[in-house]
Amino acid sequence: MDESNVLKGHKTFRRLNPNECVHLYEIDESNVPPRQMITNLRKRNINTSTTIKHVYNSCYRYRKSIRGSRNNMQHLLKLLVENEYVYHCRNYHDSDDVGDIFWVRPDGIKLFNTFFTVLVLDSTYKTNKYRLLFLEFVGNTST
């Protein structure tokens, strides 16, 4: 009897091996969707028994290890500072909860100061559900 048939339902048999984990971490940084990650893993190894749940769990653990003990808002602010974005936060009255946050790349401010004639703002609803941007700026320049 083949060992793979005996262990097929066992959780240690289906887990990601270290090479698959490293590969997933690399493509996760490129914002590849999990369904394409599992397809990529299956192309690399036809005999893999990894499921989409393993991919989700592995990506979650990787992102959590990068974030460390910071919550989502603290991590966002850390990334804004690291990448030299200009940002402004506004809290709710009598609370530490963030009400509004605005961030922009420094090049965007220079461009806006140079070409300020047309500015269109689009605030989206349910950004996680529909995978849309938070706020989209559309500008018109002479270039």
Residues 20 and 62 in one domain: yes
Q: Cβ-count burial of 27 within 10 angstroms (0-12 exposed, 13-18 middle, 19+ buried)?
A: middle
Using the 3D structure, point to which of 21, 43, 67 is the last residue of a domain.
67
Residues 116 and 92 in one domain: no
- Tens-digit pLDDT profile for residues 87-104: 988 888 888 777 778 888
Residues 27 and 63 in one domain: yes
Amino acid at 4: S
Residues 94 and 112 in one domain: no
Q: What is the pLDDT along the chain (143 residues), one digit of tens a residue?
A: 444 554 555 555 456 777 887 888 888 888 888 888 888 888 888 877 778 888 888 888 888 888 889 888 888 889 999 999 999 888 888 887 777 788 888 888 888 788 776 665 656 556 666 666 566 666 666 66
Residues 57 and 82 in one domain: no
Q: In 3D, which of 47, 38, 41 has the Cα closest to residue 13?
A: 47
Q: Which domain holds residue 22?
A: 3-67
Domain count of the chain? 3
- Tens-digit pLDDT profile for residues 28-49: 888 888 888 888 888 888 877 7
3-state secondary structure 80-127: HHHCCCEEEEEECCCCCCEEEEEEECHHHHHHHHHCCCCEEEEECCCH
Query: What does the block give as tokens for 123?
Result: 């605030």
What is residue 24's predicted lDDT score, i.e. its pLDDT? 83
